Amino acid sequence: MKKVKILVACGCGVNTSTLVCNEVKKICDREGIPAEIMHCSVPEIPINSKMVDIVCPANAYKKELNKPVLSLVEFVTGINKEKKEKILIEKLKELAEME
């Protein structure tokens, strides 16, 4: 299983992305998914996305990337968080199996 490189982003790349990073780290640890998690601001996504396997903005992100994008706004609002967590786990396990 390879280490999945995850980029979490929010408006300024500080508070919200740190909150979401912590949630993603807990999930990865619990599920046994090796992960490297970094965070940035939304405007920095295009540059930083080149170094990761998946981009997880803490808001809706509409621009095209050559990477999977999974919004984790539910981790901020708490609404439908469990459902999004399952989707995230499935996607991260899929990426961890890719070589």
Q: Rounded to an integer, what distance in angstroms lies between the CA atom of residue 45 and that of residue 80?
A: 25
Q: Cβ(69)–Cβ(27) under 8 Å?
A: no
Q: Does 21 qualify as catalytic in the annotation?
A: no
Cα–Cα distance measured from residue 17 to residue 56, given in angstroms and rounded to the nearest whole number = 9
Distance CA 49, CA 55 (A): 7
Rounded-to-integer distance, Cα 5 and Cα 12, Å: 20
C-alpha span between 81 and 64 (Å, rounded): 24
Q: Which of 10, 21, 28, 56 is catalytic?
A: 10
Which residues form the catalytic set? 10
